[in-house]
Amino acid sequence: MSEENKHHATAAAILPLVGGARNVTSVAHCMTRLRLGLHDRSLVQDERIKALPAVMGVVEDDTYQIVLGPGTVARVTPEFEALVDAEKSAAAPAAPEDGSEPVTAGELAAQGAALRAERKARNATPFKLFLRRIANIFVPLIPALIGCGIIAGLNGLLVNLHWLPGLTPALTAMASGFMALIAVFVGYHTAKEFGGTPVLGGAVASVIVYAGVADVEAFGRHLSPGQGGVLGALGAAWLGVYVEKQCRRRVPEAVDVLVTPTVTVLVAGLATLFGLMFLAGEVSTWIGDAADWLLSHGGAGAGFLLGGLFLPLVMLGLHQALIPIHTTLIEGAGFTVLLPILAMAGAGQVGAAIAIYLRLPRNTSIRATIKSALWPGFLGVGEPLIYGVSLPLGRPFVTACAGGAFGGAFVGLFNQLGTDVGSTAIGPSGWALFPLLDGNHGLGRTVAVYAAGLLVGYAAGFLATYSFGFTRTMLTELNSAPAPAPQERPASVERAASVERAAQKAGTPGA
């Protein structure tokens, strides 16, 4: 089967399992997840979705998130959107007959409403909603950050080796161009996320990077181009959205097209120049100083906490809320010292998976899942191991976090001793982070510390899981041979077995 047909087949398999096109209200994706807005959550067949060969897991949040992995999700999403549009178009003439279909039955509607109310009460806190909206602004920028970061790393290597001096200025321009204008892109997506006109958000935020702001004085100081960075762009675009909405309510329609954009850019632009740029610049400086202080004074302790707590954030999908902090650090220092520490969480997960593989020699289902998910784990894609192995088992998830904590402590200790280990971009982790590494003592030492941190994370995750990841009862149940009947098997074993059966079915010719 060709790659295109494979992604189309994945989308076609998912659609009926989420209740069909009529149950889908929105479709989006991030680096690894297909994010669906749904009318009725009760129509979703979770276990059948999890059993699909391409699905690594599911996450329930304000949207229903299907973990497909990087690369795959970007190809499946347009296929899924096309199928949704086609099915809705085909079903449009039959809309008046909806009342006779089981999908709209009163019991299903009541059950779906109850589920939505329960999830809303549990998850829709103002703080979590705010974090999700901030993350939505930055997620579309990650591919450009990765690409430009890798080019910057390659360019730095060529400069240090004095190779290709005629090419390095061009690489510098390509690597730095996006970061020089990132405020514009942040402003655009901020306005889009908060319900304004995206191009007006970009226009207001572009004031921040305009060279002429050096002639503007605020709070007794001349401004600098780029002062305030992405935080200033966030504030400027949000203010622009507020002004635009007020104008839409009050300005007559006849002159709206002239007055609203002008007033939006004028009011938000002046507020940005004479207030937000200075304040955001101070906050950006504080974030950089705080990160330096945290690692120079907290060192191993700070790294232990960051590395140990990052996996729960990934599990909840809230790790993307850290993107503005990473971006601010990259703008200020050229790299973020937090990402390599947080990447140790994935190392703990890999070590735990290896221990599980060895502790369950008779459980072919879980071992098969680990075999398929381990290499993505080495490359920093931890969700297959989280949702397919450690989280369903319970205790191994905790011991994997412990492995990440010790790896983070190791890298944090070297930061405290004066060796900064940073990343020039965000997104990749694990081995995939090597091309993006940078620091204050040369690439060789930076790479050595990061690689040693990964080894510590692997070892700590392995030892913690092998020693403390299972009770005797768990080992007896999970190593049972022959396997018990499906209704008698632990949920974790049944989950892994369903994944294996689906994978075997997918590999059968003609399936």
Contact 178, 184 (CB under 8 A): no
In the chain, the N- to C-terminal Cα span, in Å, equals 11
Q: How far is residue 185's CA from residue 440's CA, in Å, rounded to a whole number? A: 29
CA dihedral 54, 58, 59, 60 (to 10 degrees): 130
Q: Residue 66 forms beta bridges with which residues?
A: 34, 58
Q: How far is residue 205's CA from residue 226's CA, in Å, rounded to a whole number? A: 10
30 is catalytic: yes
Contact 277, 227 (CB under 8 A): yes
Helices 300-316 and 344-359 cross at an angle (nearest 10°) of 70
Strands 437-439 and 421-423, by their bridges, are antiparallel
The alpha helices in 60-181, defined as continuous H runs, are 72-91, 106-123, 126-138, 142-161, 168-180
Could you list the beta-strand ranges (E) of 290-446.
Answer: 421-423, 437-439
Place of tokens 């003439």: 93
- The catalytically annotated residue of 30, 148, 247, 401 is 30
Maximum C-alpha span of the chain:
79
Q: How far is residue 97's CA from residue 183's CA, in Å, rounded to a whole number? A: 49
So which residues are the catalytic ones? Answer: 30
